[in-house]
Structure 1
Amino acid sequence: MAVTRADVARLAGTSPALVSYVLNGGPRQVAPATRVRIEAAIAELGYRPNVSARSLRTNRGHALGMVIPDAANPFFAELSAVIEAAAFERGYPLFVGNAAGDEEREQAYVRTFIDRRVEGLLAISSSWGAGIADACEEAGMVLVALDRVIDPARCAHVLCDSVAGARTAVDHLIGHGHRDIACLSGPHVSTAEDRVRGYREALAAAGLPEGPTVRTDFGGAAGYRALPELLTGPRRPTAVFVTSDLQAMGMLRAAYDAGLRVPEDLAVVAFDGTEYARYTRPGLTTVVQPTRRMGELAVEMLLKQIAGGTPQPGVVLLEAELATRGSCGCPDDFFVASEGGAF
């Protein structure tokens, strides 16, 4: 005979409603001690919720959807992995759609998730922006935005404070004595715009002129191709603030091919804090986004709304930290944690 929610409640000494709240993440809070008893009863009895029955009641599939701009970008890959793990721990499979920087493809994935009636959507907009909020609102689907602004008046956002992070990065270059600092920006998305703004604010606060700013894609090839343009002009920059790790990795290769020494001839500081940044030579100094906190918080906010919580539109800003390595002139201590220790 199949184990029921009532069986779990009897073993835990509580009500079936509280068992439901634990399984669904709400809509009411459950006391920690009660939650422990319920989770122990679930494990002891081997109880599994009837997802098919729940889907029929709610007219939605028991799954979450996520749209990302570029699956090849390490930052989006790492953030997706965090979100997938957080969703899985809470009993939700996650379906990911890769927009590949194409607005039509992004729209197609959003409509597909709506048609398949996933319970909620997490979105990092490639270019469609507020159109995602329009589509979700029309379909009655819960939406949480990450990394890039969609529509703070209509949905919750979880973002890294890119302005403050960029200021920290440029201040660090100024602290190394640089006075001619260029900027390699990303495309016209809120993330790139905020990082350029932070770059400009740091220079203005230090009484320094803006250096050349080049706008391109976030990819490595774009970073490689951008270096000659950044170095053109009457005052060649001695340092560059780059708005993504992947761009900066391409630029490091371009500098090597051009016979430039990093950081002696050109210092480089980037933004994202991906795992791969530590493996460049020299190691890439970068602003580290709180990827784990960002992903887990976004999932928590989405599931609270799915469970009947009140939507809270607006923006939650999370603080970033600067990881210093050799590309800016700091010590380049390299180690890899492994089963046998560090080397």
Structure 2
Amino acid sequence: MVKQHPKRITRADVAALAGTSVAVVSYVINNGPRPVAAATRQRVLEAIKQTGYRPNGIARALASGSSKTYGLVVPNISNPFVAAMAHELIQEALKKGMVILLGDAGDDRQRELELIHSLLNRQVDGLFYNSVDRHPYIELIKASGTPLVMLERVDPQLQVSMLRVDERAAARLVTGHLLSHGYRDVGIISGPQEMLNAQDRVNGWRDAMNSYGLAIEANWIFPSPYTREGGYQAACQMLQGDSLPRALFVSNEAQAIGCIRALQEQQIGVPDQLALVCFNGTDQAAFHVPALTCVRQPIQEMAKTAINMLQAWNGEAMLREVSHQLQIGESCGCQFSPAQRAEK
């Protein structure tokens, strides 16, 4: 037996039930361009309700020049920080009457390109973009004329609007806190070496080490993906070396969780035997065991700023930089209290 699909309701169906023309139905749905008598408007609205008619969003976008949607392209939604940022952007967009279409590239550059093409084809009113690597498809987006805000640092010569945190300064801050405990042999689990934000975090770690007059041990730099698996594998590599650092700066929360798992498997306690701090902490950091000392970015403020930047977009590149905070946990060796305040 062939399954019968329900017939799609059209404006003509609404017009027939309301006893009016298709054009009048369009005027009611779009609030113009011509006025409609109150009684006729009410009949059309009742017909829409009875038929369950839904306007074609893409057609309306083509007609009005606005789709009431933004696109968001992220490298991997499984990253806790990326997920938290996406959540806040979606909530802030809803407050502005907008919907966000989320594209998860899964750390795949080709998939990222496909997502961008798909979102541009859907006539989104703007894009938020955090690329898989340091080669974002900015020229493609600029050629389409679609407003764009990058949620990361990119080359200023690209002349694109950016929302960012000074990641080098933030990395120096949290590494400096680690050094303030008296640790001197400090390594780093970094992000992929080709990524600009990974380079910023490594340079911030170097700045902190240099400020204390400490030597940089090249064999204590462990590049890895920004994932739990990446942190786990980097820690396993570190454990196979001839010597261990006494402390670590880990470049994001997911890596830190993976790293601690690898250390626990070898009965290496954090922070008693190896202290640890990390970048891009989320609300989860305080509930980990041990609670993570981390740099946190003001996600809600960033989401509001990003939405405002996109709505104010006029083709000129804008730069907005937000502050960061140091959140104290147990992983660095501090005595932690859940009520302890974050330090700017």
Q: By the TM > 0.5 criterion, same fold?
A: yes
Q: Runs of 5+ in structure 2 lacking a partner?
A: 1-26, 34-55, 340-344
Q: 1:145 aligns with which of 126, 139, 150?
A: 150
Q: Gapped runs of 5+ residues in structure 1? A: 7-49, 336-343
CA apart distance, 1:76: 0.5
2:332 to 322, 325, 328: 328
Measured after TM superposition, the shift of residue 155 of structure 1 is 1.3
Structure 2 distance, partners of 1:330, 1:312, is 45
Question: Is contact 2:133-2:195 (8 Å) kept?
Answer: yes
Aligned-CA RMSD value: 2.4
Of 229, 236, 241, 2:244 maps to 236
Alignment match of 2:67 (pick from 61, 71, 83) = 61
Aligned to 1:103: 109
CA contact (8 A) 1:125 1:150 kept: no
Give, in angstroms, the shift of residue 151 of structure 1: 5.3
Secondary structure of the residue aligned to 2:68 is strand
Q: Could you tell me whether the CA contact under 8 Å between 1:272 and 1:286 is conserved in 2?
A: yes
Letter matched to residue 182 of structure 2: G
Give yes or no for contact 1:282–1:332 (8 Å, CA) kept in 2. no
1:108 Cα offset (Å): 0.2
Q: Percent identity?
A: 31
Mapped pair 1:158 → 2:166: no
Aligned pair partner of 2:321 in 317, 321, 325: 317
SS of equivalent residue, structure 2 residue 89: helix
- Work out the CA distance in 1 between the residues paired with 2:32 and 2:307: 25
Structure-2 residue corresponding to 1:136:
141
Q: Distance in 1 between matches of 2:295 and 2:230?
A: 20
* Structure having greater relative contact order (Cα 8 Å, sep ≥ 6): 1
- List per-residue Cα deviations over 1:171-213 (Å, max 9, x = no partner): 1111000000000001132211111110001111110011310
Deviation string 1:12-32 (CA, Å, 9 cap, x unpaired) is xxxxxxxxxxxxxxxxxxxxx
Larger Rg: 2
Distance in 2 (alpha carbons) for counterparts of 1:147 and 1:189 = 11
Query: Which whole-Å deviations, capped at 9, do the CAs of 1:135-174 have from their partners, x for residues lacking one?
Result: 1111111110003426554211001111011001111111
Taking structure 2 as the reference length, what is the TM-score of the superposition?
0.78
In structure 2, C-alpha distance between the alignment counterparts of 1:228 and 1:141, rounded to whole Å = 44
Q: Secondary structure at the match of 1:147?
A: coil
For each residue in 1:54-93, what CA deviation from the matched residue of structure 2 results, as whole angstroms up to 9, or x when unmatched? 7344444221101000011110100001100111110111
TM superposition score normalised by structure 1 = 0.78
- Judged with a 3 Å threshold, the aligned counterparts in structure 2 of structure 1 residues 115 and 81 are, in CA distance, closer, same or farther, namely same
What SS is found at the alignment partner of 2:279? strand
Number of positions where the alignment pairs a residue of Structure 1 with one of Structure 2: 288
Structure-1 residue corresponding to 2:293: 285
| Cα separation, 2, equivalents of 1:190 and 1:295 | 21
Match of 1:328, SS state, is coil
